[in-house]
Structure 1
Amino acid sequence: MPQYLAPGVYVEEVPSAIKPIAGVGTSTAGFVGVVADDVTMPLLPGRSGVTANGDVEPTDFHPVALAGEAQLVDGWETFKSLFGDIQPGNHTLAHAVYGFFNNGGGRCWITRVAPGDADAEPSDEDLTDALETFTAIDEIALVAIPGAVSDVVQTALLDHCENQYLQDRFAILDGRQTTTLTKAAIQGDVRDSSYGAIYYPWIDVGVTDADGNPVYQPPSGHIAGVYARVDTERGVHKAPANEVIRGALGVEKLVSKQQQAGLNPDDINVIRKFDGNITIWGARTLAGKEQAEWRYISSRRLFNFLRESIDEGTQWVVFEPNAPELWSKIRRNVSAFLTTVWASGALLGNTPEQAFYVRCDETVNPAAVRDAGQLVVEIGVAMVRPAEFVVFRISQWAGGIQ
C-alpha cells in the first residue's frame, strides 16, 4: 500500500475485479492443397513482364509461395498473388478457396504442397505433414484438405482436431466420389469423431472438360465458407445447414429424400438440389451413436467456442493466490461471459440460471486440490440443438367450440 505522510485527499487507481472474457473467432479456416512450382503468377505492380529484348522477365512476377509454410490469405486477390489464378497446377485448391470467400469466408491460412516428381500427386504423408504448420496458429477453427479422400489423410485431419493441446478446431471432410449410397462407400474406413463432419456429393461449379462435361469439385472449401457466413449472421450455435452453397450449379449425384433416409442416421451430410438451389441438408458430426450428445455440428463447435474463449480469457488466473477472493472473481467473470452467450440464443433456458451454472468454491477446491497447486472450476451449460426433424400433427376437426 502507498504510504501517506501529508494530510490531504489522495486518489488511487484500483484494478477492476471484472476481467471480461471475449469470444474467440470461429470461422478462420486452414487449407492444405497442391500448387505446382510452375504455375503462372500475376505481374508485380508496375512491371511489364518482358525485357528490353522482348524476353520474359521472371523477376517481374509474384513468386509462388514456398511449400510447407502457412500463408495468411484474407481475400481472393491475396490468394492469386501467392498461388496464382485458377489453372491446372492449382485448380482443386483454388476452386475451394474461391468458394470459401464467395460463401462468406473472411480469413484463411493456406499451406502449399508441391507435386511429386514428374508432376505426380503428393503422397498422403506430404499432405498430413502440412497439417503441422497449423498447430501453432491459434485462430484456425476449421481445417480441410479439399479433394483428399484417403483414409490416411482424413484420419489425420480428425487427429489434428482432437489433439489434446488444440481441441478448438473442426474438420470438414469430402465424401468419396461414388454412386453407392452407403456409409462405407462415402466415408471409407475413416473412424467416427465428433470433431469432424463429412459431406456428399461433390458439386458442379461450372468447370467442364474438353467434351463439355462437368468436372465436379470437392465441396469442403465452399462449406467452410458457409460455416463462416452462418457464424457471422446467426452465431456458431446455428447449425450450418439449410443453407445455399453460392457458386454451386449442380451436384454429381442427385440424392432423394428416401435415399437420404439411409445416409442421415449414419452421419453422412447430404448436399441436395431444391428449386435450383444447391443446399446443405445435413448437420451431423461423425460422432456416431455412441456419442449422441455430440451428434450435431453446432453443439461441438459451440462447445469448442466456449472452451477456447474461457481458456484464453482466464489466463490471468495462473499463479494468483488460490483463495475465496479469486474464486469469486472467476465466478463473476465466467458468469458474465456465459450470460452474453445465453442472451445471443446459444443456450437453452428462460433465464441465465436455467441456461448455465458456474461452481468455484471450497466444494470443488478442497485442501487436497489446493495443496496440489490446482484450481478447479465446474461449468455446466444447457445446449441448444437444431430442430432436425420438424413434425406437424394434423387431424380433422369438426369445428365449433372446444
Structure 2
Amino acid sequence: AVAAGPRAALGGFQVAAREGSGEGLTVEVADVAGEGGGEDGFTLVVRRGEHAEETFEVSAKRSQRAYVVAVVREKSRLIVVEEPAGSAAVPRPGNQTVAVPPPTGAGSLLPATLNPAQYVGDSADRTGFAGLEAVDEVTMLAVPDLMSAYEQGAIDAEGVKAVQLAMIAHCELMGNRVALIDPLPELNPQEVKDWRQTGAGYDSKYAALYYPWIKVADPSTGRTRFVPPSGAMAGVWARNDDSRGVHKAPANEVVRGAVELAVNLTKNENDLLNPIGVNCIRAFPGRGIRVWGARTLSSDPAWRYLNVRRLFNYLEESILIGTQWVVFEPNDDALWARIRRTISAFLVNEWRKGALFGLTPDEAFYVKCDRETNPAEGIDAGQVVCEVGIAPVKPAEFVIFRLAQFSGGTSLVNE
C-alpha cells in the first residue's frame, strides 16, 4: 500500500499520507488563480508547517484530465487522495485546510530533523561517507537520499549545502574520487543558474552537477516518480567506463530507465547552464533522454572536463598499484630504469586505447626518473621520485561546420 496513515476527510474525498512522507503535513483547498478553473476546479496545496511542498491545479470531475485523484496519484510524493467507493460524483470540496495524519509504523522512515554530521559521519567509526576513507576502490560519491530528506523537511537548504560541501571536501581529501551533486528540486533553468552561482557556488575539480531531476519507475509503489539525477549518472559513468573507457566523457549517453524529465531544456537553456558547470540532461526526439554535459565545477580551465579529472585519477591509482614492487628495492640507476619501463609500457597501452592525445607516444606522455629527479638528499631520505606528464584527450563539445555556396569554382556565400 502506498498510504500508511489514517484517512482524513477532504470534503467528499479522503486524503492520507504516503509511506515515508514524515509528519506535520496539511492539505489546503483554495480557489484557482484566474478564471480557468471552472466551478469544479481548485488548487490543492500540500504544506509542511509554513512551507508549501507541492501545489496542484485539479478538478473534482472524473471526466477532466486534471481529476484530483488521478493527478495526485501520478504526481504527489507525499499524499494520496481517494474517492468514496460506489460514489457517482463528488462535489468540489470547500476551501479549507486539513491536517493529514502521519503514517504509522514503518511508514515514517525519517526522523523529524537530520543533522549534516549524520551524513558526514566519522572515519574512525566507519560511519557516513567519511567511513569511505578506508575504501580505496571508491571512484564516485553520491548521496541521493539527501534530497529525500530535504523534500520531507528533515533538512533545510543550508543543511543540504553543508553536506554537499563535505562531499566535495571528502573527494578532494582522497584525491581519487568525484562527487555527484544534485540540485534542489523543482528549480527552473534560471533558478538553477542562480543556485549554482550564488546559492551553492561550489568550485572544485572533484565535483560534477547534473540537472534536471528525472522520472523513473518506483518498484515499491508501482508508480513513477521524480528522483535526483546523481544515482542514474553514477550508472552512466560506470557503463561508460566499462564500454568505452574512463578517458571518454560520460556524455551523449542514454539515461536508461528515465521516463521523463522534470524540465525539458532547450538548446538556449543548455547554452546558459553548460558554461557554469551545470551538466544538462536533455530529451531528443528519436534519440531518447541523454546526458548532454561533461564538466566539473572547477573554474580552472585545465580541469574543466570531467573525463580529464577521472582519467588522471585512474592513471595515478593504476601507476601507484603497478609500482608497489619498488618499495625497499635498491634506489639506484637500475631501479629508475625499471620504473621508467614499467610506467611507459602502461602508458603506451593507454595511448593505443585512445586515452592520450598525440600521434606518437612521445607526443602523448613522458616519464622522467633519473638523477635529476632523485638527488642525493632524496635518496638519503629513502625517496624515489618519478615525474610523469600526459596529454589527455578532451571531448568535442562544439562541432562547427562552415558551409559555402559555390558557382563555377567561385565561392558566393559563406555561412
SS of 2:366's partner is strand
1:123 to 108, 115, 124: 115
Structure (1 or 2) with the greater strand fraction: 2
**Mapping of 1:356-395 within 5 angstroms?**
356-395=365-404
Specify the code of the residue in structure 2 equivalent to 1:377. Answer: C
- Deviation at residue 131 of structure 1 after TM alignment: 0.4
**Mapping of 1:176-215 within 5 angstroms?**
176-177=184-185, 178-181=187-190, 182-186=192-196, 188-207=199-218, 215=225
Whether the aligned pair in 1 keeps the contact of 2:236 and 2:253 (CA below 8 Å) is yes
Change (3 A) 1:246 1:121: farther
Whether the aligned pair in 1 keeps the contact of 2:142 and 2:179 (CA below 8 Å) is yes
How far, CA to CA, are the matches of 1:326 and 1:376 in structure 2?
A: 11
Specify the code of the residue in structure 2 equivalent to 1:392. Answer: F
How far, CA to CA, are the matches of 1:341 and 1:264 in structure 2?
A: 29
- Deviation at residue 376 of structure 1 after TM alignment: 1.1
SS of 2:238's partner is helix
Whether the aligned pair in 2 keeps the contact of 1:115 and 1:121 (CA below 8 Å) is no
1:311 to 320, 323, 327: 320
Change (3 A) 1:118 1:226: closer
SS of 1:336's partner is helix
SS of 1:216's partner is strand
SS of 1:198's partner is strand
Aligned residues: 287
- Deviation at residue 314 of structure 1 after TM alignment: 1.1
How far, CA to CA, are the matches of 2:306 and 2:243 in structure 1?
A: 17
SS of 2:184's partner is coil
* Residue 180 of structure 2 is aligned to residue 172 of structure 1: yes
Specify the code of the residue in structure 1 equivalent to 2:405. Answer: Q
Higher mean C-alpha deviation, range 365-374 or range 302-311:
365-374
- 2:310 — aligned with what? 301
Change (3 A) 1:348 1:118: closer
2:358 to 325, 349, 364: 349
How far, CA to CA, are the matches of 1:133 and 1:261 in structure 2?
A: 38
Sequence identity of aligned pairs in percent? 47
- Deviation at residue 351 of structure 1 after TM alignment: 1.2
How far, CA to CA, are the matches of 2:220 and 2:231 in structure 1?
A: 21
Whether the aligned pair in 1 keeps the contact of 2:204 and 2:298 (CA below 8 Å) is yes
How far, CA to CA, are the matches of 2:321 and 2:369 in structure 1?
A: 18
How far, CA to CA, are the matches of 1:213 and 1:324 in structure 2?
A: 66
Whether the aligned pair in 1 keeps the contact of 2:195 and 2:201 (CA below 8 Å) is no
Whether the aligned pair in 1 keeps the contact of 2:331 and 2:379 (CA below 8 Å) is yes
Whether the aligned pair in 2 keeps the contact of 1:209 and 1:215 (CA below 8 Å) is no
How far, CA to CA, are the matches of 1:228 and 1:174 in structure 2?
A: 18
- Deviation at residue 224 of structure 1 after TM alignment: 0.6
Specify the code of the residue in structure 1 equivalent to 2:293. Answer: G
Specify the code of the residue in structure 2 equivalent to 1:221. Answer: G
Specify the code of the residue in structure 2 equivalent to 1:256. Answer: T
SS of 2:296's partner is coil
- Deviation at residue 138 of structure 1 after TM alignment: 1.5
How far, CA to CA, are the matches of 1:294 and 1:269 in structure 2?
A: 15
- 1:220 — aligned with what? 230
**Mapping of 1:122-271 within 5 angstroms?**
122-129=114-121, 130-148=128-146, 150-163=160-173, 166-177=174-185, 178-181=187-190, 182-186=192-196, 188-207=199-218, 215-271=225-281
Whether the aligned pair in 2 keeps the contact of 1:208 and 1:215 (CA below 8 Å) is no
Change (3 A) 1:186 1:215: farther
- Deviation at residue 318 of structure 1 after TM alignment: 1.8
Change (3 A) 1:208 1:353: closer
SS of 1:374's partner is coil
How far, CA to CA, are the matches of 1:180 and 1:197 in structure 2?
A: 17
- 1:16 — aligned with what? none
How far, CA to CA, are the matches of 2:268 and 2:281 in structure 1?
A: 14
Change (3 A) 1:115 1:373: farther
SS of 1:273's partner is strand
SS of 1:205's partner is strand
How far, CA to CA, are the matches of 1:348 and 1:313 in structure 2?
A: 22
- Deviation at residue 214 of structure 1 after TM alignment: 5.8
Higher mean C-alpha deviation, range 369-378 or range 174-183:
174-183
Query: 5+ residue gaps in structure 2?
Result: 1-18, 21-76, 78-105, 122-127, 148-159
2:294 to 283, 303, 311: 283
Whether the aligned pair in 2 keeps the contact of 1:207 and 1:216 (CA below 8 Å) is no
- Deviation at residue 273 of structure 1 after TM alignment: 0.8
RMSD: 2.8
Higher mean C-alpha deviation, range 355-364 or range 138-147:
138-147
- Deviation at residue 322 of structure 1 after TM alignment: 1.1
- 2:60 — aligned with what? none
- Deviation at residue 220 of structure 1 after TM alignment: 0.7
SS of 2:310's partner is helix
- 2:28 — aligned with what? none
- Deviation string 1:327-378 (CA, Å, 9 cap, x unpaired) is 0000000001101111110001111111111000111112222223221111
- Deviation string 1:73-122 (CA, Å, 9 cap, x unpaired) is xxxxxxxxxxxxxxxxxx9xxxxxxxxxxxxxxxxxxxxxx999974353
SS of 2:272's partner is coil
How far, CA to CA, are the matches of 1:272 and 1:117 in structure 2?
A: 32
- Deviation string 1:138-185 (CA, Å, 9 cap, x unpaired) is 21111100142511111111111111xx21111111112212524332
Which has the higher relative contact order, 1 or 2, with Cα contacts under 8 A spaced 6 or more apart? 1
